[in-house]
Chain A
């Protein structure tokens, strides 16, 4: 069995997912910006689950590094069975409206870098005619709202990219899955998003992701009820929606 590469391993949704995968005996390559934290995660996971963990520095914005990085991950682990793209960033909407560099940062992290790294991964898995690519998008990409549309648009771009990739890799037996979380209780939302009963713990998202991989789902809303919330919101007439304050 090969390893699973996790991009953005220090994200809270990633951490919860990593625990679930390691508990199933999967070896993992953790990639992210914070080496000291990943070093600690490695120790923790190796003690708890007796699996092998590798760690690699990865900054999504360091585009020139992506190719070397991906090769190194493959070399270290010997073989990759799948990739989870879990990093992302959400800046304040108002700031992103006023200061283009803030918007550009979101676009680069959430979308451009994903294209760069997933292009490489797609070739790798396509050649092997096996494996999976799972990307974390967002329900915010399903509908533009004035409170969050710049972030939302980076996520809908990612969703569309993954959709096309799924279509391309289907013939090569590679499973491509899009995750659309609703509101998850992570450091991205803590103290930022008003506490609401709709908020779910990262473990819920992790469970849904692992189940989705097992069942080879195309798109997974997590928690599940967001599918219905978004279904309704997407079908509201735009004439009316444009007046709302969501």
Chain B
């Protein structure tokens, strides 16, 4: 007991990198005794580090890595309900259950995230506009709290704690197990329709016209295009393919091949991605699409980047930030998006694969991100301190349109801005006073945002 490693860790954006005391329990009971040891003053859970910033980091304090808490505990084939430990990854769930005709109810752009992380960031997928966040499919979970008690939370039981934990960036305790609803699918394929939009107006028009015909919907957007082409996009929207949709040569409709894995062997020099190379890439990418409908395997549709291991190294050793904001429907999101895109293309801040998506209504999660409107996500490599000033400008644009920034991607928001974006932050602070008066659970992010 008490074995830990002191080392520099980071999440997907490789910024910030912080020295933390890292524990790696293998049993839920062990998590309890680690906390009970009081070896560290503050603790935070770390899943697979697929958030981008400092949400799972704890400079100078304790980090509880959950990747070895990964037992599946119960599965009911009739209802599709799975109970598992919080360190089980979405990748493992797909591997076990897709061949049996079940799929994740919500999946982010990578499957290398844990169930605990999916709850703590209340993640959303391409189906947010119809199905909502991951938490909609969470029946219950057990939470180890600061008092050392394990508390069962659901919409019926300990509802307040349920909605504080959903999207609660690990501040209420360590999620130990969860019961989640899987959905039935007939095949491992998708019918996907690709449509090009020459600019932002056309893209939004397409979303408004017929987004509800598609369970999954997303658009790739070119952040360097200007003028009449500002916001030109390729919409990619689709539904699960039925058995009858498959050509005869596909013998097993549920078999899916793991894509061959390519690895990025080292951090690229940070000049590799400049506005010229990204511009060229975006041009080629945009031109390569024709309006069409195709049968596509699930891996290519949902997790295209997972086939390149460590792709975050492309952005260089300084790391990068991902900026994801949502613009609510009722505050003229098209204007907000246009201002933001104009600012981005003027600044020539290179980012390829920016993503635009329509999102559905907000839920009750105190710090849950989505709300009805549009969300835009883009990567920006860190080349110098000017970037951080630039991000503050973007924050102002987002605030001016009633929007907010996604904490799963964040490493730089300032506390006042955060508070205006997430008005229920106060409820979180009050709840913490009740269940965790000594701030046992606290992270680099929560201290930066003034939550603990």
**Residues of chain A whose beta carbon lies under 8 Å from any beta carbon of chain B:** 12, 37, 40-41, 43-44, 47-48, 187, 190-192, 195
Q: Is the CB of B4 within 8 A of A43?
A: no
Please name the residue on chain B nearest to A189 by beta carbon. B3
Please name the residue on chain A nearest to B23 by beta carbon. A191
CA–CA, A187 to B26, complex, Å?
9
Cβ-defined partner of A47 (8 Å) among B2, B26, B27, B96: B96
Given contacts A44-B73, A48-B96, A187-B3, 17 further A-B contacts (CB under 8 A): A12-B26, A37-B27, A40-B73, A43-B71, A43-B72, A43-B74, A47-B73, A47-B74, A47-B75, A47-B96, A48-B72, A190-B3, A191-B2, A191-B3, A191-B4, A191-B5, A195-B7
B1-30: contact bitstring with A at CB < 8 Å (1 yes, 0 no)?
A: 011110100000000000000001011000
Nearest Cβ on chain A to B97's Cβ, whole angstroms: 9
CA–CA, A44 to B3, complex, Å?
26
Q: Within 8 Å CB of A48, what residues of B?
A: 72, 92, 96
CA–CA, A192 to B3, complex, Å?
7
CA–CA, A187 to B4, complex, Å?
10
CA–CA, A12 to B24, complex, Å?
13
A190 and B72 in contact, given A37-B27, A47-B96 (Cβ under 8 angstroms) = no
Q: Is the CB of A190 within 8 A of B24?
A: yes
Cβ-defined partner of B71 (8 Å) among A40, A190, A192: A40
Q: Is the CB of A190 within 8 A of B96?
A: no
Nearest Cβ on chain B to A51's Cβ, whole angstroms: 13
Nearest Cβ on chain A to B104's Cβ, whole angstroms: 16
B71-87: contact bitstring with A at CB < 8 Å (1 yes, 0 no)?
A: 11111000000000000
Q: Within 8 Å CB of A12, what residues of B?
A: 26
Nearest Cβ on chain B to A187's Cβ, whole angstroms: 6
Q: Is the CB of A41 within 8 A of B4?
A: no
A190 and B73 in contact, given A37-B27, A47-B96, A48-B96 (Cβ under 8 angstroms) = no
CA–CA, A187 to B24, complex, Å?
9
Nearest Cβ on chain B to A153's Cβ, whole angstroms: 25
CA–CA, A192 to B5, complex, Å?
9
CA–CA, A183 to B248, complex, Å?
49
Q: Within 8 Å CB of B24, what residues of A?
A: 187, 190
CA–CA, A64 to B27, complex, Å?
30
Nearest Cβ on chain B to A161's Cβ, whole angstroms: 30
CA–CA, A239 to B7, complex, Å?
38
Near A by CB (< 8 A), chain B positions 308-335 give none
CA–CA, A41 to B72, complex, Å?
8
Q: Within 8 Å CB of B3, what residues of A?
A: 187, 190-192
CA–CA, A111 to B92, complex, Å?
37
Q: Within 8 Å CB of B5, what residues of A?
A: 190-191, 195
Tell me if A's interface is mostly helix, strand, loop or mixed: helix
Q: Within 8 Å CB of A192, what residues of B?
A: 3
Nearest Cβ on chain B to A143's Cβ, whole angstroms: 26
A44 and B26 in contact, given A191-B3, A195-B7 (Cβ under 8 angstroms) = no
CA–CA, A191 to B63, complex, Å?
14
Q: Within 8 Å CB of B71, what residues of A?
A: 40-41, 43-44
Near A by CB (< 8 A), chain B positions 13-52 give 24, 26-27
Q: Within 8 Å CB of A47, what residues of B?
A: 72-75, 96
List the 9 closest A-B pairs by CB distance, nearest first.
Answer: A191-B3, A44-B71, A47-B72, A44-B72, A47-B75, A48-B96, A40-B71, A191-B4, A190-B3
Q: Within 8 Å CB of B72, what residues of A?
A: 43-44, 47-48
Q: Within 8 Å CB of B27, what residues of A?
A: 37
CA–CA, A41 to B69, complex, Å?
11
Instruction: Report 12 cross-chain contacts, Cβ distance below 8 Å, ordered by A residue.
Output: A37-B27, A40-B73, A43-B71, A43-B73, A43-B74, A44-B71, A47-B73, A48-B96, A187-B3, A187-B26, A190-B3, A191-B5
CA–CA, A187 to B74, complex, Å?
26
Q: Within 8 Å CB of A40, what residues of B?
A: 71, 73
CA–CA, A191 to B4, complex, Å?
5
Q: Within 8 Å CB of A43, what residues of B?
A: 71-74
Q: Which residue, of A12, A191, A192, A195, has the highest number of chain B Cβ atoms within 10 A?
A: A191
Q: Which residue, of B2, B24, B26, B75, has the highest number of chain A Cβ atoms within 10 A?
A: B26
Q: Within 8 Å CB of B2, what residues of A?
A: 191
CA–CA, A96 to B75, complex, Å?
46
Near A by CB (< 8 A), chain B positions 89-103 give 92, 96
Nearest Cβ on chain B to A53's Cβ, whole angstroms: 13
Please name the residue on chain B nearest to A48 by beta carbon. B96
Please name the residue on chain B nearest to A44 by beta carbon. B71
CA–CA, A12 to B75, complex, Å?
24
CA–CA, A44 to B26, complex, Å?
14
Q: Within 8 Å CB of A187, what residues of B?
A: 3, 24, 26
Nearest Cβ on chain B to A1's Cβ, whole angstroms: 21
Q: Within 8 Å CB of A37, what residues of B?
A: 27
CA–CA, A47 to B73, complex, Å?
8
CA–CA, A195 to B24, complex, Å?
14
Please name the residue on chain B nearest to A187 by beta carbon. B26
CA–CA, A37 to B5, complex, Å?
24
CA–CA, A40 to B177, complex, Å?
13
Please name the residue on chain B nearest to A191 by beta carbon. B3
Please name the residue on chain B nearest to A37 by beta carbon. B27
CA–CA, A44 to B70, complex, Å?
9
Nearest Cβ on chain A to B62's Cβ, whole angstroms: 13
Q: Within 8 Å CB of A195, what residues of B?
A: 5, 7
Q: Which residue, of B7, B71, B75, has the highest number of chain A Cβ atoms within 10 A?
A: B71
Nearest Cβ on chain B to A209's Cβ, whole angstroms: 19
CA–CA, A183 to B3, complex, Å?
17
Nearest Cβ on chain B to A238's Cβ, whole angstroms: 35
Nearest Cβ on chain A to B407's Cβ, whole angstroms: 30
CA–CA, A195 to B5, complex, Å?
8
CA–CA, A195 to B72, complex, Å?
29
Q: Within 8 Å CB of A190, what residues of B?
A: 3, 5, 24
Nearest Cβ on chain B to A136's Cβ, whole angstroms: 18
CA–CA, A187 to B72, complex, Å?
21
CA–CA, A48 to B26, complex, Å?
18
Please name the residue on chain A nearest to B2 by beta carbon. A191
Please name the residue on chain B nearest to A190 by beta carbon. B3
CA–CA, A48 to B95, complex, Å?
9
CA–CA, A40 to B26, complex, Å?
12
